[in-house]
Structure 1
Amino acid sequence: MDFLYALEMIGTFVFAISGIRLAAKKDMDLFGAAVIGFVTAVGGGTTRDVILGAYPVVWVEDLNYPLVIFLALPFTLLFRKYLVQMHRTIFIFDTIGIALFTISGMQKVILLGYHPSIAILMGMVSATVGGVIRDILCNEIPLIFRKEIYATACLAGALTFYILEESGSPTNLNFVITVLLIVAIRIIAIKKNLAFPKMK
């Protein structure tokens, strides 16, 4: 298992936890929590693959994804008190997760032969749509439409990664720079309470 794949599994695990925690707040049962955790973790990648006709979708082809997701349910139940205390750590892992899915989503679309602009857009879809589905199923206005610089960070990261790749910079370095950029944008946005103006 290479480093990037391991980090993708961590990102999947943390995304699933975020879905399960929201389901718990909505008083869902275990089955409901498992479903919400699952769609949160793979909703973006599945949407990307369906739009582009890339079959089988990623979690059908690699059963480690559903395994990691379902392991998140007992983990969240056992360590729910600690997860509340680890809010900042979970935030960092979640942000690293969206960065990883942005990059991996882009790379898959480029390999399929689509235009770079589509690859950048699908990178954002891979990283954010799972959270949108989670919020809709939990009767919440999706986070990316409310108050946080989230999807914009993914777009900025995707564009940066593409430019660096085209410049001939080493892919591993481009990967690190892109992840750090997305994490930095998210942290600064939260600390400075940055958001787009609300519709009046």
Structure 2
Amino acid sequence: MLLYWLDLIGVAVFAISGVFVAAHSNLDLLGGLALAALTAIGGGTLRDVLLNRHPIFWVRDARYLLVILVAAALAMVYVAFLPPPGYGFLIADALGLALFAISGAQIAEAEGFPSLVVIMMGTMTGTAGGMLRDVMSARVPLIFQQDLYATAAIAGIVAYLVLQKLGAPRSLAVVTGVAVILLMRLLAVVWGAHLPRLHAIT
């Protein structure tokens, strides 16, 4: 149940971030809904395809689509009267990244895959939807920018797995993993924290 609720909350948060981006890009209502759905289920869809999980999660459970519709509608009402908050998109994206990365890792873990695959699937679940959102709205994807993004997802998933190996309660491991990702993303947003840059030798 914890995994299921994490997934639903992540879908709602990413759908909201999709609407915020659509509003910044001056898309119409249909464009906003499409961007919300692409952001919310893009990463999980790719994960299920690669892990051969059929039917895909939102086909099996239409409540995911209902959550997208409700979250997108509420976000559209908000932006109809107020401008999208300056940091609102980044905060929503950070929370969605944290929730999806850990839930994606749990799904791969439950399928019995090794830790490296769990890390990869969790990171992809958290980042692929946002990357598709940014590409479709002609933005440079956050994952390709200099601040911490995929790195934050990897760090949070590793923290989750380590706590699991040490025998910590699953709920504590989940909360810690989410917190690590969220804090690293917020540090990157507020203080511009990033990995060292590559410099070619000339």
Q: Name the amino acid aligned to 2:157.
A: A
Q: Aligned runs of 1:117-136 on 2, under 5 Å? A: 117-136=116-135
Q: Name the amino acid aligned to 1:156.
A: A
- 2:194 aligns to what SS in structure 1? coil
Superposition TM-score, scaled by structure 1 size: 0.88
Q: Aligned runs of 1:28-43 on 2, under 5 Å? A: 28-43=27-42
Q: CA deviation at 1:198?
A: 6.8
Counterpart CA distance in 1 for 2:65 and 2:152 is 27
Q: Name the amino acid aligned to 1:189.
A: A
Q: CA deviation at 1:39?
A: 0.6
**Match in the other structure for 1:10:** 9
Q: CA deviation at 1:7?
A: 4.4
**Match in the other structure for 2:19:** 20
Q: CA deviation at 1:154?
A: 0.4
Counterpart CA distance in 1 for 2:122 and 2:43 is 9
Matched positions, count: 198
Percentage identity across paired residues of the two chains: 37
Deviates more, 1:91-100 or 1:23-32: 91-100
Q: CA deviation at 1:142?
A: 0.8
Counterpart CA distance in 1 for 2:88 and 2:32 is 21
Deviates more, 1:150-159 or 1:190-199: 190-199
**Equivalent residues of 2:21, 2:89 under 8 A apart:** no
Q: Name the amino acid aligned to 1:28.
A: L
Moved over 6 A (4+): none
Q: Name the amino acid aligned to 1:157.
A: G
Q: Aligned runs of 1:170-185 on 2, under 5 Å? A: 170-185=169-184
Q: CA deviation at 1:5?
A: 3.7
Superposition TM-score, scaled by structure 2 size: 0.88
Give per-residue Cα distances to partners, 1:165-187, cap 9 Å, x unaligned. 11111111111211221122112
Q: CA deviation at 1:42?
A: 0.6
Summarize the Cα distance change of 1:21–1:59 in structure 2 as closer, same or farther, 3 Å threshold: same
Counterpart CA distance in 2 for 1:29 and 1:118 is 38
Deviates more, 1:47-56 or 1:139-148: 139-148
Segments of 5+ residues of structure 1 without an aligned counterpart are none
Q: CA deviation at 1:162?
A: 0.8
Q: Name the amino acid aligned to 1:164.
A: L
Q: Name the amino acid aligned to 2:148.
A: I
Give per-residue Cα distances to partners, 1:10-66, cap 9 Å, x unaligned. 321121111122123223222221111101001110011111111111111121111
